[in-house]
Amino acid sequence: MCEIFFLWFLGRKLSEMAGSKGRSGTPYVIMLVLFWFGGEVFGFLFGAILTGGDEEKFMLGYIFALVGAACGAALAFLIVGLLPDAYTEEDDLPSRRRRPRRRRDEDDDDEEEDRPRRRRRIEEDEEEDQPRRRRLDDGSFEPKRDF
């Protein structure tokens, strides 16, 4: 009977911990109960194996069962303690919207003409003021002329 009250108290604390991290406490309280009873069963089995199944040392097996239950509860609290904070709707998170893919039609060849042109840099404008040099037959360029 005392275990039920102890589990109720631990469950409330675990639910508060999960709530402070922005998560629902119900799954973690269920995990606490399962870890508690699982630890109790395995602790009793470990104690029974350690004592050799002697009925006179039954109390030692029960102590191992309580230690196993405490280890299960500690593991549940450790898991909830290591959880990161959950994001809520109020958080300013960057949205990861994907742009819809455009269908490529057969007559979409002039697509490049619809795109805005990039702005020219000042150096490119200065280069355009100079006359273009022609490529000679041997692959070199004609020398620059100053006008």
pLDDT in tens, the chain (147 residues): 788 899 999 999 999 999 998 899 999 999 999 999 999 999 999 998 888 877 777 888 889 999 999 999 999 999 999 988 886 555 555 566 666 666 655 555 555 556 666 666 665 555 555 566 677 778 776 776 665
- Give the pLDDT score at 130: 59
Q: Rounded distance, CA 1 to CA 6, Å?
A: 9
Q: Rounded distance, CA 125 to CA 41, Å?
A: 83
- Give the pLDDT score at 13: 94
* Residue whose entry in the numeric block shows the structure tokens 């042109």: 117
- Give the pLDDT score at 136: 75
Please answer whether residues 11 and 31 qualify as being in contact, where contact means their C-beta atoms are separated by less than 8 angstroms. no
- Give the pLDDT score at 100: 64
CA distances (Å), 91 to each of 21, 22, 82, 145, in order? Answer: 13, 12, 21, 63
Q: Rounded distance, CA 27 to CA 54, Å?
A: 38
The residues that bridge with 135 in the sheet, in sequence order, are 141
- Give the pLDDT score at 72: 95
- Give the pLDDT score at 68: 95
- Give the pLDDT score at 86: 80
